Each structure stands twice: as structure tokens, then as C-alpha cells.
Structure 1
């Protein structure tokens, strides 16, 4: 099923999960001229969503990218969103092999969309947010020939000991109460601790975003916020343990990586220090193009913050610059570089950048008003 809105086609897709019994539900966003083959895409841009949410929450970001020539896609993981067959399935990932199911299903989405552009060597960008960033970090060394650039958003770097402890506890609880049991202890040790780090919070979920409307919408969404089962926590801790190991086990490959984080995101640690540790470890194994951007005043979901337009522009601009450098003769890069040029200039960027002031409401509102006016002018001209 496909729908068109604001000049973008949003298509619902599905394919079999690697678990052998679930149908994975996903979305694809693209311009009509790209969908028809009239104009080549700039690249495939795959979004890997986070814990206890779903891919439709990225609709605004996906439309922004699609207008810049990307074919944007993403799936609802097992135990998430429309993929979950019933409310009781939300938050549940199989205890055994859950990590591998998540990784294989992300690759299934890539293969589904890539199959539509067979023979045209369409570049591929991988974006992961929160739990999705850990999936992306585990995906990179396994499938690095396919990835031309990666963006890791809202990520952290927990210690191996912490991950092993959480995993052992999840398996112990499952032995006595079953893998579908929802443990308040595990939840307090995991996401439950993040709310305590926000001073003056209205509610425990305020760590997600500074905008109360975003937090309230998350709480009201029946597909968001389900407590993970012990099977879900086992898969998550399997992922976090692996992303520490792979940095030492898979040196020698080169993929440009951009880390982005809110300054006040508890997942990234104090002022993004945990995220910076993850970036430094990638550099330590020889990856040459690793950059970080931290946004002061923002929390975990930088794509939903008042100043999200700045994050949108940074992410798209960085990806476009990397693709143009790697594929200067690619038809899609040449077309979109002219039709929708990027303002990104590497010479003006530091390796580890801190953005100040971009989440102030007045600045953000003015920027969105300017963008809306430009879009109306462009539509009237056409």
C-alpha cells in the first residue's frame, strides 16, 4: 500500500522475518520521479529505529531526506510497531538468537529495497538511533561491503561487564519465569535509570526530549513504551556486548561514521562522553573518517527536538558529502548535487564538534518558518 503526501510517496512493505514465523512490516519513502525511475536516487538511506518505538515516528525526517533524493526505508523490529502481531508481543524478542534475528531482519530490509535498483549500484547509508545504533554498530563489520556511510544517533558505550551482568540476569529470570516475563528490576537497571538524570523532569520519560508534546505523544502512542521482556533485554545486552568486542576484532575496514547526540542525552553519558568513547575506539582500530557532533540543550531524540532542523541538515549534508566524494561519477550523485546541493563543508568542521544555541525555540521556529516559506515559493513556481 502506498500513499502520497507533500510530494512524497510513502509505501508500506513487508517480508518474512529470519525468525521463520513473523512478517516484518516496514516503510519506504521516495519522490514520485524516483519511484517511477525518471530520476535516479541519490542513495538508499536505511533507518534502524530504537527500543520500544517504531519506524513511523521518523516520518518527518524521512520526508526531509526523500526530498533530497534519497530512497528512505526502515522496518519495525520483531516485538515492535506493526510487526508485533498483538499488544502482548510488543517489547518481546526471542531469548535465544534475538540479536541475530534483529540483524538479519535489518539486512532483509536492505535487500528488499536494494533489489529494486539492481544493476545501478545505488549507494547505501545506514542510520541507527538508540538501540538501533547498537544494531547498526554490530551490522557494520558483518556487512561492511554494502555500507558506504553510517550515522550513529543517541548511542552510548556501556562496559562489557555491565552488558554481561544484564544478560546473565535476563537468562536467570527467564529460567524461572519464562522469556516473556517483564522484569521491573531489569527495566530499572536499563531505561528506567535515565529519567533520574533529568533535573526538574515532569515525568520519568522526559529524558527523551525537551519538548513536552513529543513526550506526551510517545506516552499516548499504543505502539510506544512497552516494557521489554527478559528476552528483549537479553537481545539488547547481547548487542551492547558485541559492539565493544567487534572494534578490536574487525580492524582494517574503512567506512565513514558520524556520531550525533544530544548534550543532555543520558544514553550518551554526561555531555556525550560515552558516545565519544565509542568514536575513539573506532579511531583506535584505524577508521580514519569518524566525526562527532553534540547538540547543547538537546536530549535523546535529537530528531524530535525543537532544533531538529539543524540535526537534519548536518546528517543529510555529511552523508551527501561522503557519497559525492566516493561516487563522483554516479548518475544519482551528479543529478542531486545540482538539484539539491549540500551546504556541508568539511574544512569548517572539527573532528568533535559541539553545537550551541540550535535548540532554542525562537531560533528553531524561525528556521522552520523560513523552510516552509521556501517550499511554498518552490511549489508556486512549479
Structure 2
């Protein structure tokens, strides 16, 4: 039976989001917003002109209608019940949806029965007060020689890497995973990223927590796609660099190029005015992110994976962090292992090659896989890829 190609829920559509076609759609929406903002002022000006010839008594009657029945209320103040405020209702819906995702994430951890691994979850509070879902995988009968902090890619969650975490457990590595804001079991609108700097800051705080729980053990960071970009920006901080023994990146988001230069100029404006707006053209099907049909079905039938259209702000944040990394690759000094599929259409394998060449790390390795797509750990060759990562880790503990 033929399997219809499935695409990444959002991370593979940055180019589509900031294409000229999408830009025209956004400009039409912006035009409507501007008209909506201008019309009330035009109406007020017209009403003033008409009202100038009317009697003062009529104005007094109109004013009296706005006064509250209580003498202590100020004239012209209208009190609106909290339940009638749209933004509060929307926030409540987002909170309920995040709570449902968190419940499912917790349920999966609790129901994971494995004699060789102890899987646990914990809730981590960010500096902004957001609740982030984190989990860990600890080997039962193998001595722990090192720690790996794992960051998933855009639209997915840490639980998708459970098989990989257990392989690391079998080789003496305890694994920690964090669902960054707007993803998996963490707070936030599903798939929405207001600022990737939030995720970078959260990752740093989580890393401090992991290091405190595992004193004396070498700590490595693994990141996929946008998760790799978050890790890269974090380790450019000298304080973080000094605490990390190495980083492993699969298909890192260090190179995303919009279709036209004007898009780069308009992206910050549109993302500021309409941050959560979704462009329907970015939700079209295209090339798959894995050549394994079963892996694709598992990913896109998972309710913890976001599969809706990419929001404008999220796309802009990816452009922003990739631009920063492009300009700061030569500041990278930690041991580095980059893996990328040569047929990846989501993130650029050429940008990974550039990262490898420009990084100042004295210990750096790159492996480009011919014919493989974006989700390397869910490709048909996943076992060989895991073996390469484990071998790289074993040589550094």
C-alpha cells in the first residue's frame, strides 16, 4: 500500500511561510488591521463635526447614560466582567490545552515499564514562571559514566527520543530531556515560540539543575534541528561552555534562507503585529522527513506533536537564531559532533558543513549521510547513527 508523504509539522516550512505568496496574504491581513485601527478615529472625527451644531442638553443626556448608578464611580468608566475579556478566555483555553498535554506526557512516563531503565518526570519552573515538563532515563544495572541533556526539535517533544535515551542508558549514560516552551508537556500555546531566547535561558537553567544532581560526571548536550540551534547559542556563553564536555547535533537549524530579501525586512514587523497568525500555505504536504513510513505515521498521529501551520512569530524566531549563529560560528570551542542527511530539505546540510569548518573547536567531527532526510534518529539507518553517537561519547568519557 502506498504511503502518502508526510511533512514536518512546522519546522520544514520556514521558506513557505516567508515566501512571496505567503507575504501577499500577510499584507492583505495587515491592510485589514490598519483599516480597522483607522476607522474608529475617522468615525470619531465625523461625529464631532456633526455634534457641534447640536444642543448641549442632548450631550448632557448622552453623558449621563455612561455614569454608573453608584455615586463613587467615575464618569465615563465602564466596568467589564473578567469573563467577557477575549484575551483572558483565550489564555484559559491555552492553559487547559497545555494541562491536557502535560497529563498525557506524564501518563506515558508512568506507564513505561522497562527492567533496564528507570524513567521519571519532574516539573521545572522557568525564570518567567512557566511550568516546563522534564524527564530522565537512568540505567538500572549499568554504572553511569556520563550525562546527556537532550533537546528535541521544533513541534516535537522529548518523549520521542525514549528509544535513543535507553540505548544511551545501556552504554552508561544517564539522559535528561526537557520539553521547551510551547511543546510537549510544557506550558504555552502548542507550537508557538514567542522567543527562542526563552528556550535558551530555560536550557541553561535546566543544565544547572542536571549538573547539581550529577556532580563530577562529564555532561554532554544533544540537540536535533531547532533544538540543536538552542544548544549552540547556549554553549556560546563562556559560563556554559566551561561546564559542557561536548555537543552532538543532528540536522541542526543553522541555515534557513527565506525566498526573497524583502521578507527579511518585513518579518520582524509582521511577527510583532501578528505573532500568532498562521499562514495556510505553510501547511501543504511535500517531501517527507524520514524514509520510514512507520516512523512518519507514529510522529504525525502523536497528539504531543504539533502539526498545524507555522505561526509567523515562530518562523521569525528561527530566522533570527539562525542569523545569529551564522555570524558567531567561529566562537564555538566545545567538542563538536555534527550529523546531517544530504537529502534534508528542512535544514541545510551545507550550513552544517560551514559550522564544522568555521568552529574553533579543536575536537570536531562531521558525518554527512548520503540519501538520508531530516529526522536522522527515525530513519531506516537509525541504529547505525546511534552507534556513531555512542562511539563518539565513549571516546570522551
Q: TM-score, normalised by structure 1?
A: 0.68
CA contact (8 A) 1:13 1:25 kept: yes
Tell me how far apart the structure 1 counterparts of residues 303 and 131 of structure 2 sit (CA, whole Å): 20
Quote the residue 1:217 is aligned against: 298
| Correspondent of 1:290 among 364, 372, 380 | 364
Gaps of 5+ in 2: 1-105
| Correspondent of 2:246 among 149, 162, 165 | 149
CA 1:159–1:31: 2 relative to 1, 3 Å: closer
Alpha-carbon deviation of 1:212? 1.2
Deviations 1:239-277 (A, max 9, x none): 1111112224x3xx63211110122112354xx333212
CA 1:164–1:43: 2 relative to 1, 3 Å: farther
Tell me how far apart the structure 1 counterparts of residues 258 and 356 of structure 2 sit (CA, whole Å): 20
Quote the residue 1:13 is aligned against: 122
Give the structure with higher Rg (CA): 2
CA 1:175–1:131: 2 relative to 1, 3 Å: closer
CA contact (8 A) 1:17 1:105 kept: yes
Quote the residue 1:280 is aligned against: 357
Tell me how far apart the structure 1 counterparts of residues 379 and 184 of structure 2 sit (CA, whole Å): 22
CA contact (8 A) 1:207 1:265 kept: no
Say whether 1:139 aligns with 2:234.
yes
Alpha-carbon deviation of 1:165? 6.2
CA 1:235–1:7: 2 relative to 1, 3 Å: same
CA contact (8 A) 2:154 2:225 kept: yes
Alpha-carbon deviation of 1:4? 4.1
Tell me how far apart the structure 1 counterparts of residues 264 and 145 of structure 2 sit (CA, whole Å): 40
Gaps of 5+ in 1: 193-202, 324-382
CA 1:242–1:165: 2 relative to 1, 3 Å: farther
Tell me how far apart the structure 1 counterparts of residues 363 and 342 of structure 2 sit (CA, whole Å): 22
| Correspondent of 1:181 among 274, 277, 283 | 277
Alpha-carbon deviation of 1:157? 3.9
Secondary structure in structure 2 of the residue aligned to 1:222: coil
Say whether 1:106 aligns with 2:203.
yes
Alpha-carbon deviation of 1:32? 2.7
Q: Is 224-233 or 47-56 further displaced after alignment?
A: 224-233
Q: TM-score, normalised by structure 2?
A: 0.66
CA contact (8 A) 1:167 1:233 kept: no
CA 1:165–1:61: 2 relative to 1, 3 Å: farther
Quote the residue 1:91 is aligned against: 191
Alpha-carbon deviation of 1:175? 4.1
Tell me how far apart the structure 2 counterparts of residues 52 and 159 of structure 1 sit (CA, whole Å): 17
Alpha-carbon deviation of 1:163? 11
| Correspondent of 2:147 among 37, 44, 58 | 44
Question: Which has the higher relative contact order, 1 or 2, with Cα contacts under 8 A spaced 6 or more apart?
Answer: 2
Secondary structure in structure 2 of the residue aligned to 1:322: coil
CA contact (8 A) 1:52 1:91 kept: yes
Q: Is 21-30 or 76-85 further displaced after alignment?
A: 76-85
Say whether 1:254 aligns with 2:357.
no
Superposition RMSD on alpha carbons, in Å? 2.5
CA contact (8 A) 1:73 1:109 kept: no
Tell me how far apart the structure 2 counterparts of residues 136 and 15 of structure 1 sit (CA, whole Å): 18
